[in-house]
Structures are given as C-alpha cells and as structure tokens.
Structure 1
Amino acid sequence: MAYYIVKVLISSILIVLISEIGKRNSMLAAILASVPLISVFALIWLYIDTQDINRIREVTINILWLIVPSLTLFIALPILLDRGMGFYVSLSIGILVMILSYVATLAIWKTLS
C-alpha cells in the first residue's frame, strides 16, 4: 500500500509543481509540461511492477502513435481562446476534438491491423 501512496504523491507533486511554476514562468512550465513526465513515470512504475521489457516496448510504441491525436487539444485550445471563447468552453471543445481524434486514430489503427 505504501508503494501506491508514493506513486500518487510523486505524480501529484509534479502536477502541482508545474502549475506553480506556470504562475511565475510560463515557458519553464511549458517545457516541464511538454516533457512526457506522466509517460516516463508510467513506464517506470510499469517496469518496477512487471520487469516486462516487451510490455514497456509495446506501451512506448502505442504512446508514440497516440501523440498525434493528443496534439489536437494544443492546436484547438489557443485557436478557440484567440476567437474570444471562454477558457472552460475552449478547453471542453479542445478535449472533445482530442477525444474524436483518438476515436478516429483508433478506428484507422484497427482497420490497418
């Protein structure tokens, strides 16, 4: 149980740290947020839990292919904000666009498999 608490604490601290840095320095926060910390920590936790290199390889390849649809949020959000939409509306639409991109990517992926 302590192991899970450590995992949650480390992950939570990183999120809070990045948001606090963002209040003072948006570029530094963006750099830290753009590093795939969640993916890196997920891979570390997965390796510690399973020691399964093949699973790590599969997850890494899947992350690579799913980066493209995740980028749609970061394309849509500033466009919507520039058009005067409120933050929560823009974020919601951006997330919806991202989800639709994931659905399309997975459908294409399934067709090609």
Structure 2
Amino acid sequence: MIEQLAKVALTSVLVVAASEAAKRNIVLGATLASLPLTSLLAMIWLYADTRDTEKVAALANGIFWLILPSLTLLLVLPLLLRRGIAFVPSVAISIAVTTASYLAMRALLKWFNIQA
C-alpha cells in the first residue's frame, strides 16, 4: 500500500510541476508536459513490480502506437479555443475526437495484426 501511495505522490508531483511551470513560462510548462514522464514512470513501476522486460517492451510498443491518436487532442483543442468555443465544450469535443481516433487506431492496428 505504501508503494502505491509513493507512486501516486511522485506522479502527481510531476503533473503539478508541469502545471505550475506553465503559469510562469509556457515553453517550460509545455516542455515538461511533453516529456514522456507518465510513460516512463509506468514502465519503471511495471518493471519494479514484475521484473518482466517483455511486459515493459510490450507496454512501450503499445504506448508508441497510441501516442499517434492522442495527438488529435492537442490539435483539436487549441483550434476550438481559438475559434471562440468555451473551454469546457472544447475539451469535451476534443476528448470525443481523441476517443474516435483511439478506436480508429485500434481497428487499424488490428487490421494490420499489430499488437498494441
């Protein structure tokens, strides 16, 4: 239980650090947020818990393929906000588009028989 709390605490600190940095410097905040820290932490925690490098490799492979559809959120959200759509509807629409992109990517990967 303490190990899980430590994982949550460290991960939370990184998210808050990126958010706080963005208040002061957009480039620094964007740089911190763009780093694959969550992915790296997930791989570290998985390896620490299982010592299974094949699982870590499979996770890294899945993350690679699923980063592509996640980028749609980063394209759609600023587009909607700059067109004057309020924040909450913009986020909701962006999440819907991203979800559709994930589903499309999963179908595409399945069609090409790629494990992700």
TM-score range, shorter chain: over 0.9
Q: Which residue of structure 1 aligns with residue 98 of structure 2?
A: 98
Report Cα offsets for 1:53-95 as digits up to 9, x if no partner. Answer: 1111111111111111000000001111111101111111111
- Displacement of 1:108 after TM fit? 1.3
**Matches of 2:28 and 2:16 in 1, distance apart?**
14
Q: TM-score by structure 2 length?
A: 0.94
- Structure 2 stretches lacking a partner, 5+ long: none
**Matches of 1:111 and 1:102 in 2, distance apart?**
14
Q: TM-score by structure 1 length?
A: 0.97
- Displacement of 1:23 after TM fit? 0.8
**Matches of 1:14 and 1:65 in 2, distance apart?**
24
- Structure 1 stretches lacking a partner, 5+ long: none
Identity %: 46
Cα RMSD (Å) of the superposition?
Answer: 0.7
**Aligned pair count?**
113
Q: Runs (4+) of structure 1 moved beyond 6 Å?
A: none
Residue type of the alignment partner of 1:16: V
